[in-house]
Structure 1
């Protein structure tokens, strides 16, 4: 029997008592990013220690949900490596362990690697989602909003989060959740050295297995996200496009999402 993600939660540091009738958070003086460490919020300096305490609650809550779901690894999805400068590496939030972990799309992460990746995402050194097909996901939203889905109703993990001053709200669906069947897949192109997209064309008639083969992805990958198209892949994609591909003029990328 195929597992299904039947349970989804929004996990945040924001008390839902302060949401208005539209669900928007009504308190304006809340930190939303680690870059605000040192700023005065509600008349009090937001300290590194306070940040680390909240971050640890987020990371360990994820681990509790993973473990209660009977899972010992997750995959990376929709990886975006942010440009980390030498100045970033001097930050008190940058750890030498970040350099030691080589991260790739579709990579399988152990529990300890999950901890490290989550810290990198929450500190804005990396962007990605974590998932296990049909069983589990973690979506990181803006402003320290986090969404977790599982095929298990994780009551103990929920209690752990609440004991560590986080708020867990049962939701119908993460705003970042969509199925393979709902996904639009297309080719986008821009002139070389110019990031502005000048054309796009939707792809049809290509199976997920074909996409996985051309991008060297596992059978678990839902083929969602953005992938660079290399010239040696031109023969495969040109069959499905009206646009005549020209790698001397354009850079191409595959995009799969809503």
Structure 2
């Protein structure tokens, strides 16, 4: 089945019935925190009451944040790790439209340095990330402390919290603030429910040696550094540039190797698919490489957008039609592959 290359990637929110917590072996106490009264659910568990699916950007949102903070405090959590970070892609499924900066402005620099898989953030930043997710600003991630705590934000104002402790005081505070903390067996955002990640290749010494040989054979290749889901940095690499570019890679990135850009821009544009849905990767006169997802709606503007392009390539907008030359995931400095990018 063809699916768009870009999207939120976040699963629909619904209670599940499995014993687990946050992707760790240790069983956690898991709660579904919502503004939806359980008395207003039908026999299938779907909410049929009067509450809408939007954040009020006010007291109800503040109650959600206070609930998350209370569970963290009762568990003894002061920092959380960002896992599987995303930003808005070509398609957004949120109830509210995303905003410029994805809700990350003021939390991270414009280039999103520090917003990556495994980044440790203080509780204050974690709560702002929860706020951005409740508002559908565009950013999404899991937040967790291995074996002890997690926070997952789903669609429609559903929040899932898992703790190594039952947290009766946090449950009471949640109810006092007008929300409902319902015990469930598993968050629907548990990483164990993700697609099987068999086939991930670490960007180890063997990968870099193979890449070196490929660059020598071809003269140059394009390296896509996917540092969060739906966002990439692009590097054109020649044999003498591998070491410098490798040193600048963000932690735990997914690496995709593509053929070199074509300097025949006119011919490259002629290769746009009939449906117009593609990603154009191009290099400007200063050597900077960027990309743009296009379809019929913005195709007429391409001549002006690409006026300064000196080289480019066209990639399909459909995930199962993209065939990089090589792929790998960057391991941690200790050599362990902890990022859960799918192949």
Please state which band the TM-score falls in when normalised by the shorter chain: 0.5 to 0.7
Would you tell me which structure has more helix in proportion to its own residues?
1
2:66 is paired with a residue whose SS is helix
Report what 2:43 is aligned to: 21
1:198 is paired with a residue whose SS is helix
Work out whether 1:55 is the aligned partner of 2:42: no
The offset of 1:95, in angstroms, is: 8.7
1:184 is paired with a residue whose SS is coil
1:61 is paired with a residue whose SS is helix
The offset of 1:199, in angstroms, is: 5.7
Equivalents in 1 of 2:199, 2:35: separation in Å? Answer: 37
Contact 2:69–2:127, Cα closer than 8 Å, also in 1 = yes
1:54 is paired with a residue whose SS is helix
Report what 2:119 is aligned to: 107
Q: Structure 1 unaligned runs (5+)?
A: 35-49, 202-209, 227-253
Report what 2:129 is aligned to: 117
Contact 2:83–2:116, Cα closer than 8 Å, also in 1 = no
Work out whether 1:155 is the aligned partner of 2:168: yes
Report what 2:53 is aligned to: 32
Report what 1:76 is aligned to: 82
Q: Structure 2 unaligned runs (5+)?
A: 1-23, 90-97, 201-253, 257-277, 280-313
Runs of 4+ aligned structure 1 residues displaced above 6 Å come to 187-191, 217-221
Contact 1:158–1:168, Cα closer than 8 Å, also in 2 = yes
For residues 1-258 of structure 1, the aligned pairs below 5 Å read 4-27=26-49, 29-34=50-55, 50-82=56-88, 88=99, 97-98=106-107, 102=113, 103-125=115-137, 126-179=139-192, 183-186=196-199, 192-198=314-320, 214-216=330-332, 222-224=338-340, 226=341, 254-255=342-343
1:147 is paired with a residue whose SS is strand
Equivalents in 2 of 1:134, 1:32: separation in Å? Answer: 31
Contact 2:316–2:322, Cα closer than 8 Å, also in 1 = no
User: Residues 180 and 96 from structure 1, CA distance in 2 versus in 1: closer, same or farther, beyond 3 angstroms?
Assistant: closer
Query: 1:2-29 CA distances to partner (integer Å, 9 max, x unpaired)?
Result: 98232111000000001111111112x4
Equivalents in 2 of 1:217, 1:58: separation in Å? Answer: 36
Query: 1:63-84 CA distances to partner (integer Å, 9 max, x unpaired)?
Result: 111111111111001100226x
Equivalents in 2 of 1:200, 1:95: separation in Å? Answer: 29
Equivalents in 1 of 2:35, 2:319: separation in Å? Answer: 37
The structure that has the greater radius of gyration is 2
Between 135-144 and 191-200, the greater mean CA deviation after superposition? 191-200
The offset of 1:31, in angstroms, is: 2.0
Contact 2:28–2:164, Cα closer than 8 Å, also in 1 = yes
Equivalents in 2 of 1:58, 1:221: separation in Å? Answer: 34
Contact 1:131–1:138, Cα closer than 8 Å, also in 2 = yes
Equivalents in 2 of 1:221, 1:68: separation in Å? Answer: 31
2:57 is paired with a residue whose SS is helix
1:51 is paired with a residue whose SS is coil
In the superposition, the TM-score normalised over structure 1's length comes to 0.63
The offset of 1:135, in angstroms, is: 1.1
User: Residues 17 and 70 from structure 1, CA distance in 2 versus in 1: closer, same or farther, beyond 3 angstroms?
Assistant: same
